Structure 1
Amino acid sequence: MNRRRHAIAAITVICALTVLASPALTLQASASPLPPPAPKKSLEEVREEIETLYRQAAVATDAYNLAEERAKEQSAEIVELARMIVEGREKIAVLKAKAGAAARAQYRNGGLPEGAQLVLTNDPQLFLDNAGRLKAGAKATSDLLGEMTRTQAELDAYAKDASTNWTKLESDRVKQAQAKKEINEKIAAAEELEDQLEAEERERLRRLEEEARSRAQAAWLDTGVLDGAKTGATAEGKKAVAFATAQIGKPYVWGAEGPGSYDCSGLTQSAWSAAGRNIPRTSQEQWRLLPHVDVKDMRPGDLIVYYKDASHIGMYVGNGTIVHAPRPGRNVTLAGAGSMEILGVVRPS
């Protein structure tokens, strides 16, 4: 009997262990294998990804610069409108004072209007004198009322314009903040990719960048685009080129207009400002608003705009070369004019 009890107990334990073990075995059998690790990107793929991120940052920088420029203009307009509103209110106060003086003069005449006084007089000369004054007074009153009406209408218009400009200002401030966030995100992502590379890989990456630029420049020159190109610059163009080349070695900083650092359009705008000519702030606005010239007709001082979205710009200095502020992490430098995808050429002067 004891042996039977021990056997039954042993069988029970074995069955329980089997039941408990079954789900684990089932789960182990049904579990899918781990996915293979993602293949490591080649340096060329990393280079292209970094370049794309910096170009996206450049587009966002243009959006930021444009919003900042418009915000400055709107702020200046609001200040001017405020000044005009103050002047308008002061003018209305003066006009009201004149109207009050006229009312007090009538009160001193016993409250009788000038027309009634004219009818009551028996002196012909006095009648004629009063008639002249009455006519002049009526015109003055009419002019006074008309001026008050016009001034009030102007005040209303100024207030409406100020409100509109304030709304635009707030909108552009929001755009600035959004663009700034995007710029920092793109630059951070590009820098993170570079930081993941070993020192030797970063050096090879730099050489890959140079080789890609050199190939593009050679292909561009092989088209014969510079055959018969103009080499002379205008006096203004020489000043702009001299200023831009004097900035070589200074760092690229997005949104910067000098004197210690520049972004691409900040450099070209500052250079032409030094030559006595104001041009738009962003590369996209410089492309949109400045006169276009054919690449074969360009001369030193002209600006070459790059990529389909006009997100980069440099100044042609002659001999197939530009001076430009390339991107974050780089300094103002000379480069082949055809080392990037050319959209077109614009001429500030």
Structure 2
Amino acid sequence: MAAHRKHRKTRRNPFSGPAARTAGSLALAGAATATAFNGTGHAEPTVTPAQIKARVDRLYEEAEAATESYNGARERTEAARESLDRLREEAARRTDRLNTTRNALGSIATAQYRAAGMDPGLRLALTSDPDEYLERASLAQRTAERQAANVAEAQRELAEIDRVRAEAGQRTAELKARQAELNRHKDTVRRKLSDAERLLGKLTAAERAAYDGGAAPQPADLPAATAPTVRAARAVAYAHGALGKPYVWGATGPGSYDCSGLTQAAWRAAGVSLPRTSYAQISAGQRVSRSDLAPGDLVFFYSGVSHVGLYIGGGRMIHAPRPGADVRIAPIDQMPFAGAARPA
């Protein structure tokens, strides 16, 4: 019995001691792994308002850059298409002229064929007016030579038009492919913007208002500023009339705008033609320093010159900010300043 009791004392509980601790650790690790794969048990990392602003700012900058690149590609595509249309019209006109020339040559050839049965010497002997015959023969020869030269020239022109038309078609196809690529990029940015809106939804109303820059001041709230020229005043007046209208990709008004579409439309109303994109508009006028800004000047932002607004004085501008936001008045120090230009 004592031996039996001794034997029972020496037995170890498989669920206690180091083995139990090891098994417990493995079980906890397995549970943690399973929890990770199941997507539960981990709270989403806390994101501060400053982090949200930085991430959303970057997304908006990418969206604006993609829009301006898209606008440029679309403009080049339209120009290529117009060029192709002109070439087609020119080819049609030249083909008509070529056909007319061929018909005339056909008539000459028919007349020559009908007269071919008679020897030229005999025709000369039988004619009542040899001088008239020789004059007509010389004229016919010159006409044939001129018509032949015209046909050869028309054929060369038509061949050149065909070559240019084919080249223009290839260029258009390339531009359309680039446009499709930009559209895919826009879709990516839109997804990012959706993420940004989700992040902005985590902010309180006060934090969101602070991010948006607070309430946009009305024109009456701004200090009076006089535009340097009549045209600049007209551009500023147009921009004021666009306040409250929505930002829309690629829009140039009058119901909606993107950033460069707004500035282009404002200066068009003043009789000045600006390029379509912000990175082209910065070179469309006289460059001015930030300290010399005057109402009507174009103000540009970000290192890629991907955003533009219209300066109205008092350190403020009118601009089309981003998707989901209307045309508004904002301080120019709201974004990284890249330069300014004064259209002529």
TM tier, shorter chain?
0.7 to 0.9
Matched, 1:168 2:174: yes
**Equivalence for 2:90:** 84
Give the superposition deviation at 1:343: 0.8
Q: Is residue 262–residue 319 contact of structure 2 (8 Å, CA) maintained in 1?
A: yes
Q: Judging changes above 3 Å, is the alpha-carbon distance between structure 1 residues 286 and 175 closer, same or farther for their aligned structure 2 residues?
A: farther
Unaligned runs of 5+ in 1: 1-6, 214-229
**Equivalence for 1:334:** 329
Mapped to 1, the partners of 2:135 and 2:324 lie a distance apart of 87
Give the superposition deviation at 1:310: 0.7
Return the letter of the residue paired with 1:44. A
Give the superposition deviation at 1:77: 2.4
Mapped to 2, the partners of 1:273 and 1:89 lie a distance apart of 39
Mapped to 2, the partners of 1:164 and 1:290 lie a distance apart of 33
**Equivalence for 2:206:** 203
Matched, 1:186 2:214: no
Mapped to 1, the partners of 2:323 and 2:143 lie a distance apart of 73
Q: How does 1:1-349 map to 2 (within 5 A)?
A: 26=22, 28-30=24-26, 32=29, 39-110=45-116, 117=120, 121-122=124-125, 124-126=130-132, 128-130=134-136, 132-195=138-201, 197=202, 201-208=204-211, 210=213, 231-349=226-344
SS in structure 2 at match of 1:101: helix
TM-score (norm 1): 0.77
**Equivalence for 1:223:** none
Q: Is residue 118–residue 130 contact of structure 1 (8 Å, CA) maintained in 2?
A: no
Q: Judging changes above 3 Å, is the alpha-carbon distance between structure 1 residues 144 and 330 closer, same or farther for their aligned structure 2 residues?
A: closer
User: Which stretch has the larger CA shift, 54-63 or 141-150?
Assistant: 141-150
Q: Is residue 71–residue 172 contact of structure 1 (8 Å, CA) maintained in 2?
A: no
Return the letter of the residue paired with 1:312. H
Q: Judging changes above 3 Å, is the alpha-carbon distance between structure 1 residues 88 and 180 closer, same or farther for their aligned structure 2 residues?
A: farther
User: Which stretch has the larger CA shift, 334-343 or 286-295?
Assistant: 286-295
Give the superposition deviation at 1:261: 2.0
Give the superposition deviation at 1:120: 6.2
Q: Judging changes above 3 Å, is the alpha-carbon distance between structure 1 residues 98 and 257 closer, same or farther for their aligned structure 2 residues?
A: same
CA-based RMSD of the aligned residues comes to 3.5
Mapped to 1, the partners of 2:97 and 2:314 lie a distance apart of 62
Return the letter of the residue paired with 2:213. E
**Equivalence for 1:3:** none
Return the letter of the residue paired with 1:235. V
Return the letter of the residue paired with 2:138. G
Give the superposition deviation at 1:119: 8.5
Q: Is residue 73–residue 179 contact of structure 2 (8 Å, CA) maintained in 1?
A: yes
Give the superposition deviation at 1:126: 4.4
Give the superposition deviation at 1:173: 3.1
SS in structure 2 at match of 1:210: coil
Mapped to 1, the partners of 2:301 and 2:319 lie a distance apart of 11
Mapped to 2, the partners of 1:148 and 1:331 lie a distance apart of 56
Give the superposition deviation at 1:80: 2.5
Q: Judging changes above 3 Å, is the alpha-carbon distance between structure 1 residues 276 and 179 closer, same or farther for their aligned structure 2 residues?
A: farther
Return the letter of the residue paired with 2:257. Y
Give the superposition deviation at 1:127: 5.6
Mapped to 1, the partners of 2:168 and 2:141 lie a distance apart of 41
**Equivalence for 2:221:** none
Mapped to 2, the partners of 1:342 and 1:266 lie a distance apart of 19
Mapped to 2, the partners of 1:107 and 1:27 lie a distance apart of 112
Mapped to 1, the partners of 2:155 and 2:104 lie a distance apart of 14
Give the superposition deviation at 1:69: 1.9
Q: Is residue 243–residue 328 contact of structure 2 (8 Å, CA) maintained in 1?
A: yes
Mapped to 1, the partners of 2:132 and 2:208 lie a distance apart of 103
Aligned length: 315
SS in structure 1 at match of 2:213: helix
Q: Is residue 99–residue 144 contact of structure 1 (8 Å, CA) maintained in 2?
A: no
**Equivalence for 1:216:** none
Q: Is residue 237–residue 300 contact of structure 1 (8 Å, CA) maintained in 2?
A: yes
